[in-house]
Structure 1
């Protein structure tokens, strides 16, 4: 399923696990984050969903798990709001819910970066689709023959579980540390086509915008992140798994979890 597909299509429960999981985010202006957070909490609670919903003036970020009908209804209702009509959604399966409870939070940012002037809800950085990136990886260059640099915008704990082969990784523990780490690599990035990537796209989207604002106009973001790449392409050019922030720990290119146990409800 394409991460930019509008109709939510869940993977087959008979072959992939009993519990449906969804990851989604969208940068869009939210005039009243508190009101939206309250609405989403009510809908998620009504469906018995677990996970995390983050709401900020710059958009929403959510990770939820539950029964198919309830979770698909939640996505469909959210997409009925014009602001989220094209919400990219990534589905996966697990034998048990990887979240202990439902958490709905209002935040200054849906992903903390703390750099002024970066407004992803106003305009996205240019993207590269997973299939195109796979072709570039096979070629060792973009379609213009320009040197390709894959830039992992995640932290070192996540990278330890896997990354694209030959990717440039950063010695960071928090996303807010990325600007200093990238600045130190200016010579390496100069003259290359740089593709920033992360788990689901949210960090590499902000990172790409920030880098372009610094004058690196050759920076793209991987549309849908690693999970979108797994969904569309599989594991071509990727070594290991993709770390996720829940009880599944990490997903392989088939989106199967490393750990498939229920999160402790206490």
Structure 2
């Protein structure tokens, strides 16, 4: 759908932003001027964004963001649509860009957990083990209603309803992760980055990875083997298939009635 007129981007970056309030004013003014819609969340721990508009306008906003060297590593994921899938523009400062309610987990102040490339995960799932011969489990860190749209075959799903429940779920289910290579995953990477750091602190006896770029990057780079269903996205497209196209005529899960407004 690269010929569609609207470019959608999503990205996040854990980076120290002590000036997030002032930054919010600059980014909001620029997005308004470019007539973009979507959501930009800022916190002292980083940025999380979902924006849409004509390609030239979206890329102008990203180019301006990259003028701040702190955002140099930020590499938005792109998809295309016929219309803008957001009703308005929202640029907000929040305590966390993804709420875990666990103040010791600060990816902007810590070394990242190892990030597993999409192609490597696909190969491991093909062969049934990692390169050291250890069994591999995929751990879905998303909310239950999102999982109901689609997930990896055999993924661990603890039926959490908000990400702040994840630490307690780890304590309840820690034993099922022992002796395995754990790959945490989510929509675009932000939740599984915090989740992987938390898991590393829990004394598991095997490696812990985060899926680099989440499900959407996995779709983009592999076409989605070992994944069934679609991937819920927090905009009016609702869900994307493995080709990153809106999933047409999807059957809405029963749990959709409990859908939260944000990841």
Q: Is 1:108 matched with 2:91? A: no
CA distance in 2, matches of 1:88, 1:205: 16
Q: Deviations over 1:174-209 (max 9, x none)?
A: 000111112222121001000000000000000000
CA distance in 2, matches of 1:19, 1:206: 31
Contact 1:134 1:236 in 2 (8 A): yes
Q: 2:30 aligns with which of 43, 52, 75?
A: 43
Q: Is 1:197 matched with 2:208? A: no
SS in 1 for 2:142: coil
TM-score normalized by structure 2? 0.91
Deviating above 3 A after TM superposition, structure 1's stretches of 4 or more consecutive aligned residues are none
Q: Which runs of 5+ in 2 are unaligned?
A: 250-263
Alignment of 1:154-233 (within 5 A): 154-216=142-204, 218-233=207-222
Q: Is 1:126 matched with 2:110? A: no
Contact 1:248 1:259 in 2 (8 A): no
Alignment of 1:79-94 (within 5 A): 79-94=66-81
TM-score normalized by structure 1? 0.90
Contact 1:247 1:259 in 2 (8 A): no
SS in 1 for 2:156: coil
Count of residues in correspondence between the two structures: 247
1:172 to 1:128, Cα distance in 2 relative to 1, 3 A: same
Cα RMSD over matched residues? Answer: 1.3
User: 1:218: how far off?
Assistant: 1.7
| 2:43 match | 56
User: 1:116: how far off?
Assistant: 2.0
| 1:247 match | 236
| Higher relative contact order (CA closer than 8 Å, sequence separation 6+) | 1
SS in 2 for 1:117: coil
User: 1:258: how far off?
Assistant: 2.6
